[in-house]
A and B are shown apart, each in its own frame.
Chain A
Amino acid sequence: MSVSRREFLSASWDQSIAFSFLGRAIAYSTVPLAAAQTFCSQPAEAASTAPSLKYIQPLHVPILVAFAKVSMGLDDQDLTEQNKTVFIANCDQLMGQAPESVRADLILLFNLLQFPMSRWMMGVSDNWDRANPKDITALITNWNYGGIKILRYGYQSLLSLLQVSWYYVPVAIAGTGYPGPPESIRPYLDFNGENSP
């Protein structure tokens, strides 16, 4: 079965309840953000308690970190508090630049994932900061290959967000061996060092 975002609402409910619930919620996010927030019961922007983050709530952070570790092969040594702070701030900034509908999709996804019941129904039994990487890998596999394209869309959108946000972090850039701009141009740049390890 292959169900696109356009076709999802008319799709049959032959997938697991959790995936269908998540997929349907994301599909609903094509309505304006305000309505989507009502559906999710926790207005994302209003509920944010971190003054420096506009879209990502504190409860979202362990979700992003858990997915980042599994998807990009990161560990606690990579994600020190300092690096994590920069990484999450990059995610938040990138979400601010995304189209409103894409941002709403991601916020809905985070809000749903933060609910213990929906997390449990998706096969992740522990809290996100203690979740077994195998559970998350299984969840991602199901999203990508379970046949519901909206779930694949959800994960791939999340993945792009995580990848770009991580490879904006100086320590991640350093890991690639990228040396920054050539020496010949450096004296002329308003150069803050961020793109150099």
Chain B
Amino acid sequence: MKLPDPYKDEAAKSWNIYDASRFTEDRYFEADVVIVGTGSGGGTAAEVLSRAGKKVILVEEGSLKTSTDFNLNEKEAYSTLYQDGMTRLSLDGGISILQGRTVGGGTVVNWTSSFRTPEPTLNHWNSRLRIKDHTVESMRPWFEMLEKRLEIATWTSPNTNNQTLLKGAEKLGIRADLIPRNVKGCWNLGYCGLGCPTNAKQSMLVSTIPSALKSGATLIHNLQVNHLRSNGHSVESVEAYGRSERRPQVRIKAKIVILSAGAIGTPGILLRSTSIPNPYGTAGRRTFLHPTLFTFGRMPDEVNGFHGAPQSAYSDHYQWQDVADGPIGFKIEATPMHPAFASVIIRGFGLEHRQRLNDLKYTAGFLALLRDGFHPDSPGGRVQLRPDGSPVVDYPINGYLLEGAKRAVLKMAEILFAAGAKSVHVGHFQTGDYSSWSEAQKGINQLAFEPLILRVGSAHVMGGSAMGPDPRDSVVDETGRHHHIDNLYVMDGSLFPTSVGANPQLSIFALTAKLSHQIIGDGKIYLDLPNVSTNH
């Protein structure tokens, strides 16, 4: 039995798709626009610019995997759809970083949470960081359009894991709510992180990229961009190679070059491109991760956190207090609980670890995203190059973050107990199984909150090629254009001057849709929207 796969349809036979790992000789391409990266930024820009009549080439370092490839096997999904087989780390190993690497980028493997950029974030950018063009008011129509384009709506059938968060929060009088998700006809399977086999998730893979291909765009996958060649004023070519043993060289010339390789990949390309001016050393600086903590509750009944939409409830109760000057805020959400993923986020040693995994069906799992980048003591990390030229983020975990980490873990434990947990353990190597809230408070406060023994993850990489008015502390201006190179733009999460404070995909969709329309500049809307006026 087969489900529809847009890439296997008859119409797809006319699409221009190349697998660079199969190139047997060096190749040369030309276009109006080359977009490096096919995730939330690149995918959105590709639809807009292709439908506006531009000849677009989309470049992706990962491979093209489509719904018929997604068999919901953790090993296969992590091996083929994630950066470094899901083993990506910060420089000192203190933070595990989940990033997609496939056509559609992170949108293929994220958990579908679709929040507008929070108003406190946009207001902070405006008042403290002098971002004048992207305000609450000016962004609103773009959020509305992208919500229509990607079928974003509040999910009303939370699974037991997410219900646990809602229940515990309600008992404690903590604000919590349901999450908007970008799905259409979702089967509620629970495997968003392993690729959606039904194409319900409106990732770039099934929405904007097919739209761009229908409009004549070319997709080249398994193509690694090494560097940009520039004359100091404009990019002359994109220099890349096919990801095969032979490494065929590929040169692409285009009037406009857009970097959408994500907030580690984009700064990496800029740093490898020695002919791109970087006079103030801003490329790669102020990279943010939403450092993420984990806490688990052993519930009296089955939770089965591996089934059902993985992330559909959240609490911002502790997120926006003292935005710029106070302790770090955090957003609480649920986490999926598939065995291999759970084995890493659930901590402990020997038989304790084994027992916790044996209890997987009964385990509720929460995470807390720390809102980094707003306070002077939260400067984020820095993307740098390894000797082999690959990018890595150096992200020291300082006392400001660790203080927030402890508060977040404690709050998650309290919510779990309020929801009825029989015991709680936290994402820390020394964690005990605490059987009451008072025991948990005592135990967690005695833990050494230090990197590596405290599990810190991240699924959101932002900044590193920040937008801003001043070249001394930003890489591009508010249109996304590089401060020193006329035909070079950045359109991905690396634009953000702080973390977003929420799962960032809708923030990237909306901002890059706005910026790519500004490139066209004719006042029309080129997103594939149902029943929308073409003038905006």
Contacts and interface: CB of A to CB of B under 8 A. Distances in A.
A73 B353 contact: yes
A190 B96 CA distance: 30
Contact of B75 (A30, A73, A90, A157): A90
Contact of A149 (B92, B306, B342, B387): B92
A4 B73 CA distance: 36
Given A5-B91, A157-B93, A160-B87, A99 B390 contact: yes
Interface string A172-185: 11011110111011
A140 B396 CA distance: 24
Contact of B360 (A153, A156, A160, A177): A177
> Which interface class (under 10, 10 to 19, 20 to 34, 35 or more) fits A?
35 or more
A190 B85 contact: no
A188 B452 contact: no
Contact of A195 (B72, B387, B453): B72
Nearest to B72: A181
Nearest to A140: B349
Interface string B418-442: 0000000000010000000000000
B361 interface: yes
A176 B189 contact: no
B75 A172 contact: no
Contacts of A180: 72
A156 B73 CA distance: 25
A119 B86 CA distance: 30
Contacts of A177: 358, 360-361
Contact of B85 (A98, A101, A184, A185): A98
B189 A102 contact: no
A167 interface: yes
A148 to B, nearest CB: 11
Nearest to B363: A176
B128 interface: no
Contacts of B392: 99, 101
B350 interface: yes
Contacts of A97: 79, 84-87
B197 interface: yes
A156 to B, nearest CB: 5
Contact of B79 (A93, A100, A144, A191): A93
Interface string A32-60: 10000000000000000000000000000
Contacts of B71: 189-192, 195
Nearest to A190: B71
Contact of A189 (B78, B197, B350, B357): B197
B343 interface: yes
Interface in B180-207: 187, 189-191, 197-198
Contacts of B84: 97-99, 102
A184 B187 contact: yes
Contacts of A164: 78, 86, 340, 343-344
Q: Considering residues A32, A168, A184, which has the most beta carbons from chain B within 10 angstroms of its beta carbon? A: A168
Given A6-B92, A189-B197, A99 B340 contact: no
Contacts, number: 159
B353 A71 contact: yes
A178 B338 contact: yes
Interface in B332-382: 338-340, 342-344, 349-355, 357-358, 360-361
Interface in A150-173: 152-153, 156-157, 160-161, 163-164, 166-168, 172-173
Contacts of A172: 339
A139 interface: no
Contacts of A101: 386-388, 390, 392
A98 B352 CA distance: 28
Q: Considering residues B88, B354, B358, which has the most beta carbons from chain A within 10 angstroms of its beta carbon? A: B354
A73 B96 CA distance: 23
A164 B340 CA distance: 5
B123 interface: no
Given A152-B453, A168-B74, A187 B1 contact: yes
Given A93-B79, A167-B340, A178-B339, 16 more contacts: A6-B394, A71-B349, A73-B354, A97-B84, A98-B87, A99-B88, A153-B93, A166-B343, A167-B342, A167-B357, A168-B74, A178-B361, A188-B197, A190-B71, A191-B72, A195-B72
28 contacts: A4-B396, A30-B387, A32-B388, A72-B354, A98-B85, A99-B84, A99-B88, A100-B388, A144-B452, A152-B453, A156-B93, A156-B429, A161-B87, A164-B340, A167-B342, A167-B343, A172-B339, A176-B339, A178-B338, A178-B361, A181-B72, A182-B307, A185-B72, A185-B189, A185-B197, A188-B197, A194-B75, A195-B74
